[in-house]
Amino acid sequence: MFSKFILNTSFLFFVLTTFAQTDTGQKVNTVLIKVSDNIYMLKGNGGNIGLSFGGDGIFMIDDQYTDGIEQIQEDIKKKSDKPVRFLVNTHFHGDHTGGNAAMAQTGTVIFSQENVRNRLEEILRREKKKIPMESLPIVTFSEDLTFHFNGEKIYVFHVHNAHTDGDAMVYFTDSNVLHTGDVFFNGKYPFIDIENGGSLRGCIEGLKKAMLLINEDTKIIPGHGDVGTYKDLQNAMDMLTIIYKRVFANYMNKKTEDEVAKMTDLTKEYDDKGYGSGFIKTEAFLRMVYKSVAAERKPIEDNAEKNRQAREKMMKEQKEEKEKN
């Protein structure tokens, strides 16, 4: 999904790079990056993995694609021979849950927000040969849950209708490290899965919620991109808020999706910073924002149309009544 990662020798975090061949013959580039004393980020072909190493074992966040999980397991063993006891899925997409079945077979207990399991069950019903039953989280939660593991409190909380309808963020309270899942793409335009409950407003609210919990010293593992800071999260929220307002204004002025998608002035300052150079290009992002605004406005517009029709009906009936008299 993303280009190979080039490591700067002055980079302050400890880095371990490994290579492997998948079943398709493509090279997997995995990079294990030290974020804090015992928290690591593993980058590969899918979403960023979070790992806590300690005396209790290993706590894992997401597991990328199915064909890369063997290499990921080997990377983890190079750091610790303890078992991965718990795995949290931040949402249901395959680049974050593809390794679920393999992890479950090793005895790892998988957790997720309840909508993640619901979405995976839907896929299982539609594509029985593609999603093993073992991929399903066996423990789900509605709003939040807390682990006491490896000497610290790990807080997992639901972010409503953001990237999807089942997003969760994970905060290592003592290490002061936050894993955001795909609600945050560091320095790039994010993907918003509107068809599966995602919304731009939900992403903005999710980032606000995260910022109330963390502080300026927090290190942030994004769903995609490099380890971030509080300022990076603030920049992402500002970008989403500004572009949302611009697209909203054009939507209210009756501009079509195709018209808005061609308005490069709406995103110019962010395109100049490279936001459109990631997986989601500028036009695709503007279309997602437009669709999100349209979905948000639909109930209001539908209600307004019903009221208009009701008024017209009442006026017609009143006119007919006067003509009778």
pLDDT tens column, 292-320: 899 887 766 556 556 666 666 666 666 66
Q: Do residues 62 and 90 lie in contact, with contact meaning Cβ atoms separated by under 8 Å?
A: yes
Strands 57-61 and 49-54: antiparallel
Query: Nearest-CA neighbor of 181 among 212, 206, 199?
Result: 206
Mean pLDDT score across all residues of the chain: 87
59-70 residue pLDDT tens: 999 999 999 999
What are 84's two structure tokens?
């991965």
110-133 residue pLDDT tens: 999 999 999 999 998 887 667 788
179-221 residue pLDDT tens: 999 999 999 999 999 999 999 999 999 999 999 999 999 999 9
Residue 316: the pLDDT is 65
Query: Nearest-CA neighbor of 156 among 47, 57, 59?
Result: 59
SS3 64: coil
6-55 residue pLDDT tens: 233 222 233 333 333 344 444 568 999 999 999 999 999 999 999 999 99
Strands 144-149 and 139-141: unpaired
Q: What is the mean pLDDT of residues 284-288?
A: 95
What are 294's two structure tokens?
């349209």
Superfamily of domain 15-321 in the CATH hierarchy: Ribonuclease Z/Hydroxyacylglutathione hydrolase-like (3.60.15.10)
